[in-house]
Amino acid sequence: HSALTQPASVSGSPGQSLTISCTGTSSDVGGYNYVSWYQQHPGKGPKVLLYNVSNRPSGVSNRFSGSKSGNTASLTISGLQTDDEALYFCSSYSSGNSLVVFGGGTHLTVL
């Protein structure tokens, strides 16, 4: 049971756009803008895609964007590419029992 809720899987076709949600509470996602998103390819360590809800680190494609509404953060991937097929995690600062909480991860399949 992960602290943040993500859909287990999503799929899309090359060129399409899709959105992955990350739902928490007012003690984490809803209360702070310390939401990050990570991409993980099989056998590799995660790579940060977005931080502070919508900021992209240098080198990350502008096809990745983020937003937040209430207790739910969202990652949108536009112009889907085959290399986007990966596992995506969200994380947030939390004022609850743990300083950091993660989502359960979403498998993205590019059909």
Say how far apart CA 93 and CA 98 lie, in whole Å.
8
Residue 66 interacting with other proteins (CB under 8 A): no
Given 36, 54, 65, 71, the residue binding other proteins (CB under 8 A):
36
Residue 23 interacting with other proteins (CB under 8 A): no
Given 22, 46, 77, 80, the residue binding other proteins (CB under 8 A):
46
| Cα dihedral value 44, 52, 74, 6, nearest 10 | 50
Strand 100-102 and strand 86-93: the pairing is: antiparallel
Given 20, 71, 73, 103, the residue binding other proteins (CB under 8 A):
103
Ramachandran bin of 40, using left for φ above 0, alpha for ψ from -120 to 50, beta for the remaining angles:
beta
Binding residues (CB under 8 A) for other proteins: these are: 2, 6, 34, 36, 38, 43-48, 51-52, 57, 89, 91, 93, 97-105
